[in-house]
Amino acid sequence: MRADIVIVGGGVIGSSIAFHLRFLDPGVSVCVVERDPTYRTASSALSASSIRQQFSTPVNIAMSRYGMDFLKSLDQHLSVEGSVPSIGLVERGYLYLATAQGREILRQNHELQRACGVDVAFLERAELAQTLPWLCTEDLAAGSLGLSAEGWFDGYSLLQAFRLKARALGAEYLSAEVSGFRFTAAGVSAVQLSNGHEISCARVVNAAGPQARSVARMAGIDLPVYPDPHSIFVFECETPPPECPLIIDPTGLYVRPEGRYFLAGAPHESGSPSEQQTLAVDNDAFESEVWPILAARVPAFESIRLRSAWAGFYEMNTFDHNAILGATPQVPNFVLANGFSGHGMQHSPAAGRGIAEYLLYGEFRSIDLRALGYERFTRNEPLRELNII
């Protein structure tokens, strides 16, 4: 078997790349290798699926702006035989909260965001209390509220829409697991599969999500990307706060509406990175961490009922919490699309477009993604993202 480009990983990133490749060049042959076509444990299927403009780096803001435009025009991009995918996009905004200690960083981020064209309001404590009277603001100094182009959606439906459209355009999906690569002096010449078969190719894209590190190791590349488990809790509230945005508490906890329910995630903890992580719900975290913070921030959340929970992996880039996009100097035809650190779902349209352009034209054209290149590792120049959820 042969393909011009083999994509390792058929989640939302890999499928977005496959779609954009075939959309931009119907003559390029694309094979997507996905080890689990059910996507039962895929990060794409287990994401909280939100999109925001409120980042601290211009490149992430640009990717989110592109992503929101894409999500709002799926009829132009991902329709198949007249059927338009429905992802349930809710545009209600993010609300970042800060104590006195974090106020200056929030202000600096706000100024950068405004300079990049983000529709966001900086609210002092009194304005917060007036705008959202159901919010406890006693310990707060300020907040940053997205006024448009932020919200949440059904990530699994977006994944399936990318996959369906990519296949409709001629991309091939293969259910198999990659076991290694065959090399020539020019780089990777074939992708080896655990079933004993292989796919000859000109280039390979690593879009393996939480398994990106092990796939990169097969190519002799040390990638600082690890599976990072996080739990998402679903609860209902007797008297839900009206018009609730997605709230980012100063502790790092987030909460947002989901129909008649709410989703909440515990504050992120930076433990020792390990490839050996278990995908299991941290049930104790709800009682010990999540609920106390929820009730302190929104008094209505004192009376809630936990309905369900699930766990998923972030593909955490421990170097600087930002995506890694582009080729590596060690193996120039081995291209990375990894390390999104929780931003993968919202940045999948921009990443897919960018990597497709990079593969086809040798450069990023629609969005300048050079800041996310692998070269920053060799220079030891991290591109820090301060707004981590």
Strand 187-193 versus strand 30-34 pairing type = unpaired
- Which residues make Cβ contacts (< 8 Å) with residue 294, sequence separation at least 6? 253, 255, 264, 301, 304
Q: What's 131's DSSP letter? A: H
Q: What is the Cα–Cα distance from 262 to 98, expressed in whole angstroms?
A: 22
User: Would you say residue 313 has pLDDT above 90?
Assistant: yes
Q: Please say whether the beta carbons of 336 and 206 come within 8 A.
A: yes
User: Would you say residue 270 has pLDDT above 80?
Assistant: no
pLDDT band at 389 (very low <50, low <70, confident <90, very high): low
CATH fold, domain 2-84+154-224+319-378, is FAD/NAD(P)-binding domain (3.50.50)
What letters, b where the CB count within 10 A reaches 16 and e where it falls short, cover 196-226? eebbebbbbbbbbbbbbbebbebbebebbbb
pLDDT band at 388 (very low <50, low <70, confident <90, very high): low
Q: Please say whether the beta carbons of 189 and 177 come within 8 A.
A: no
Q: List 184's β-bridge partners, or say none.
A: 187
pLDDT, residue 214, reads 97
Q: Which pLDDT tens digit goes with each residue over 187-200?
A: 999 999 999 999 99
Tell me the C-alpha to C-alpha distance, in Å, between residue 379 and each of 206, 212, 375: 22, 21, 6
Mean pLDDT of 236-256: 96
All structural domains of the chain with their residue ranges:
2-84+154-224+319-378, 94-148+228-314
Strand 198-206 versus strand 2-8 pairing type = parallel
pLDDT, residue 302, reads 97
pLDDT, residue 269, reads 65
Q: What is the Cα–Cα distance from 156 to 169, expressed in whole angstroms?
A: 20
Q: Which pLDDT tens digit goes with each residue over 328-378?
A: 999 999 999 999 999 999 999 999 999 999 999 999 999 999 999 999 999
Mean pLDDT of 285-298: 96
pLDDT, residue 274, reads 74
Mean pLDDT of 1-18: 98
Tell me the C-alpha to C-alpha distance, in Å, between residue 303 and each of 61, 241, 291, 306: 36, 12, 10, 10
pLDDT band at 314 (very low <50, low <70, confident <90, very high): very high
Q: List 232's β-bridge partners, or say none.
A: 265, 310
Mean pLDDT score of the chain: 95
User: Would you say residue 273 has pLDDT above 80?
Assistant: no
pLDDT, residue 276, reads 74
Whether the CA torsion 105, 111, 115, 118 is positive or negative: it is positive
- What radius of gyration, in Å, describes the C-alpha atoms of the chain? 21
pLDDT band at 385 (very low <50, low <70, confident <90, very high): confident
Q: Please say whether the beta carbons of 204 and 6 come within 8 A.
A: yes
- CA–chain centroid gap for 39, Å, is 16
pLDDT, residue 324, reads 98
pLDDT, residue 351, reads 98
What letters, b where the CB count within 10 A reaches 16 and e where it falls short, cover 235-270? bebeebbeebbbbbbbbebbbbbbeebbbbbbebee
One-character DSSP codes across 19-45: HHHHHH-TTS-EEEEES-TT-TT-TTT
- CA–chain centroid gap for 263, Å, is 17
pTM, to two decimals: 0.96
Q: What is the Cα–Cα distance from 2 to 63, expressed in whole angstroms?
A: 32
- CA–chain centroid gap for 217, Å, is 22
Show the tokens assigned to 333.
């035809």
Mean pLDDT of 267-280: 74
Tell me the C-alpha to C-alpha distance, in Å, between residue 228 and each of 201, 245, 313: 31, 26, 5
Q: What is the Cα–Cα distance from 330 to 301, expressed in whole angstroms?
A: 52
Q: What's the CATH number for 94-148+228-314?
A: 3.30.9.10
Q: Which pLDDT tens digit goes with each residue over 62-112?
A: 999 999 999 999 999 999 999 999 999 999 999 999 999 999 999 999 999
Greatest Cα pair distance, the chain, in angstroms, is 65
Report which of 94, 91, 92, 90 is spatially closest to residue 144, judged by C-alpha positions. Answer: 94
Q: What is the Cα–Cα distance from 233 to 108, expressed in whole angstroms?
A: 32
The amino acid at 26: P
Mean pLDDT of 196-214: 97
pLDDT, residue 83, reads 96
Q: What's 102's DSSP letter? A: G
pLDDT above 70 coverage of the chain, percent: 98
